[in-house]
Amino acid sequence: MMILAVDIGNSAVSLGYYEEDKLLKRVKVSSRPMRTRDECSMLLNSVSESFRLPPDEITGAIVSSVDPEVSGQWTRAVEDLIGRKPLILAHGVKTGLDMRIDLHTEVGADIVANMVGAASLLAPPFAVIDLGTATVISVAGKSGELLGTVIAPGVGVSVKALSSSAAALPDVSLSVPGSVIGRNTEESMKSGAVLGWASMIDGLIDRIMDEKGFDWMDLIACGGFAAQVIPYCKREIPVAESLTTDGLARIYKLNLRTGRK
């Protein structure tokens, strides 16, 4: 049984092809500019052909999205590819996640998928650090329940905003800074972006643990900027690039077992 898990983010779409619990292939494509249904269909067919993942062997699909503007085109393209409607991760879909928050409908589908994926890897209490367009830290309590999140601007968004707002500051790539204190503008901005975000994550984890009275927390990271930032955190935090689609695949199987397709 092959499952296609599609995570539609603000800047990228991740495609995960799974056989049982094994990830066969993960492909990441830009969600910008807006693609038509036909363009999305052509891209999905091209991926399937390139990696020898025949559409007729895909028995089901699940889609999560944080961007309603583009989700419809991708959802219909997935339906075109596999010949059936995908499961949409939305309020009411079984996830197995206990959410101790004010409004369940405010929790993004990506956060839910990340927490489900992390719950299969970590012991509670734990936190998922997602460094994408936004920086999101999602916290699970001692019973694995979602206690809430911390949301901050994303690394890339912040650097871009700084460059566009300050005429004297250039666009910079998020590569390794030479030192904490830069001796030129580019090095200084790299340090602020990479080391600054790593320090923010360290500090927020400390504050979360203090506030909740945790002596220890298991941690995992994902998202497009995780590989650049997480190595500079003081804690050792593993990066799981496929965490979101891993969680989606698990949610699909849960709903399949409970009779919802």
pLDDT at 167 over 60: no
pLDDT at 171 over 90: no
Contacts of 101 (CB under 8 A, 6+ apart): 107, 146, 147, 148
| Statement to judge: residues 44 and 137 lie in one domain | no
| Statement to judge: residues 59 and 161 lie in one domain | no
| DSSP helix/strand/coil, 121 | coil
The pLDDT, as a whole number, for residue 1 is: 82
pLDDT at 141 over 60: yes
Domains in the chain, number = 2
Q: What angle do CA 221, 140, 100 make, to 5 degrees?
A: 135
Give CA–CA dist 229/93, Å, rounded.
33
| Statement to judge: residues 71 and 133 lie in one domain | no
| Statement to judge: residues 252 and 166 lie in one domain | no
The pLDDT, as a whole number, for residue 101 is: 86
The pLDDT, as a whole number, for residue 134 is: 92
Tokens read off for 188: 């200084």
| DSSP helix/strand/coil, 185 | helix
| Statement to judge: residues 233 and 252 lie in one domain | no
The pLDDT, as a whole number, for residue 128 is: 98
| Statement to judge: residues 139 and 223 lie in one domain | yes
The pLDDT, as a whole number, for residue 106 is: 81
| Statement to judge: residues 45 and 137 lie in one domain | no
Give CA–CA dist 138/125, Å, rounded.
11
| Statement to judge: residues 220 and 139 lie in one domain | yes
In angstroms, the first-to-last Cα distance of the chain is: 14
pLDDT at 164 over 70: no
The pLDDT, as a whole number, for residue 40 is: 93
Strands (E), the chain: 2-8, 12-19, 22-30, 58-65, 87-88, 126-131, 134-140, 146-153, 218-222
| Statement to judge: residues 162 and 131 lie in one domain | yes
| Statement to judge: residues 165 and 213 lie in one domain | yes
The pLDDT, as a whole number, for residue 168 is: 55
| Statement to judge: residues 55 and 158 lie in one domain | no
Say which of 110, 171, 202, 218 is annotated catalytic.
110
pLDDT at 173 over 70: no
Q: Which of 93-97, 102-106, 185-189 has the highest mean pLDDT?
A: 93-97
* Residue 98 placed within a domain: no
Q: Give residue 128's domain range.
A: 124-239
* Residue 108 placed within a domain: no
Q: Residue 27 is part of a domain; what is its CATH number?
A: 3.30.420.40
* pLDDT interval class at 256 (50, 70, 90): confident
The pLDDT, as a whole number, for residue 226 is: 95
The pLDDT, as a whole number, for residue 74 is: 93
pLDDT, greater one: 167 or 175: 175
pLDDT tens figures, 44-85: 999 999 999 999 999 999 999 988 878 899 999 999 999 999
Q: Is 38 a catalytic residue?
A: no
pLDDT at 105 over 60: yes
pLDDT tens figures, 10-26: 888 999 999 988 999 99
| Statement to judge: residues 88 and 140 lie in one domain | no
For the chain, give the percent of residues with pLDDT over 70. Answer: 93
Q: Which of 15-24, 83-92, 122-131, 178-187 has the highest mean pLDDT?
A: 122-131
